[in-house]
Amino acid sequence: MASLWRPREGMEIIDLGGQKYSFVFYHVLDIQKVLDVGSWTFEQSLLIYHYLKKREDPQSVKLNTSDIWVLIYDLPTGFISKSVLKNNGDYIGEFVKSDPGNVTGGRKLYYRIRVRMDVDKPITRRMKLKRDGGEWTWVNFKYERLSSFCFVCGLLGHQERDCAIVYANPDKEITRAYGVWLRAPTKNSKNMNLGAKWLRISGDSSKAWEEGVSNVRDEPP
Ligand SMILES: [Zn+2]
């Protein structure tokens, strides 16, 4: 994670056990950079994290949501408004914020919102909207930096070969209602080197700016 985040003032990672880790940062801007991106993955698995408040116990934090940037496609012209974007976000999960770029320039191919998603629920593929004339239309969603997910049940954290639905119906032909089209197009990023350069080893976290806790979702072997 250190190699991905590259904190200018370094970071420390404390193993809390049970696949929970505490990430200690030494500057607020280093944390901000991590939070701004939204979702992070570690070896294809979604990193579920929580920004710890002062005196919050990392062990008692519930880790079941992830903030993800979602792209909304096919939004009809008459529907482009702050409240519609918020409704879309609340339909997917819980609307967090709208990309400032949504309101600059002209009409867009897509609109970008940040959504807090419940990682125990299937991904939302699309949403139905009713036009003024009474006819229905679909808006379609794509997700940035989506970790591995199941094309059969739409849940994050496992793939088809480990899906409970597939196991419950071994003789049935598999129906895939989800697919790679749910991934937002990405810019190719160069692979990062080892993160050692950004890691602090000292163990003295008393000077740390803030702490965060995370949990890598288990990926079956
Ligand atoms: Zn599944």
Q: How confident is the model at residue 219 (pLDDT cuts 50, 70, 90)?
A: very low
Please give the distance of CA 69 from its chain centroid, rounded to a whole number: 7
What percent of the chain is modeled with pLDDT above 90?
46
Tens digits of per-residue pLDDT, 160-177?
999 999 999 989 998 999
Q: How far is the CA of 149 from the centre of ligand 1 (A)?
A: 8
Position 22 pLDDT exceeds 60: yes
Task: Return the domain boundaries, the chain.
Answer: 65-147
Q: How far is the CA of 76 from the centre of ligand 1 (A)?
A: 32
Sign of CA dihedral 106, 110, 112, 113: positive
Q: How far is the CA of 161 from the centre of ligand 1 (A)?
A: 8
Residues 6+ apart with CB under 8 A from 134: none
Q: How confident is the model at residue 61 (pLDDT cuts 50, 70, 90)?
A: confident
Q: How far is the CA of 187 from the centre of ligand 1 (A)?
A: 27
Tens digits of per-residue pLDDT, 169-218?
989 998 999 999 999 987 644 443 345 555 555 444 444 443 333 334 43
Q: How far is the CA of 220 from the centre of ligand 1 (A)?
A: 12
Q: Residue 142: its pLDDT value, please?
A: 96
Q: CA-to-CA distance for 94 and 48, rounded, in angstroms? A: 16
Q: How far is the CA of 118 from the centre of ligand 1 (A)?
A: 15
Q: How far is the CA of 50 from the centre of ligand 1 (A)?
A: 25
Average pLDDT over residues 16-27: 91
Q: Provide the mean pLDDT of the chain.
A: 83
Please determine, looking at this structure, whether the domain spanning 65-147 carries the CATH number 3.30.2390.
no
Q: How far is the CA of 218 from the centre of ligand 1 (A)?
A: 14
Residue 58: closest CA among 15, 25, 3:
15
Which range scores top for mean pLDDT: 49-58, 65-74, 99-108? 65-74
Q: How confident is the model at residue 112 (pLDDT cuts 50, 70, 90)?
A: very high
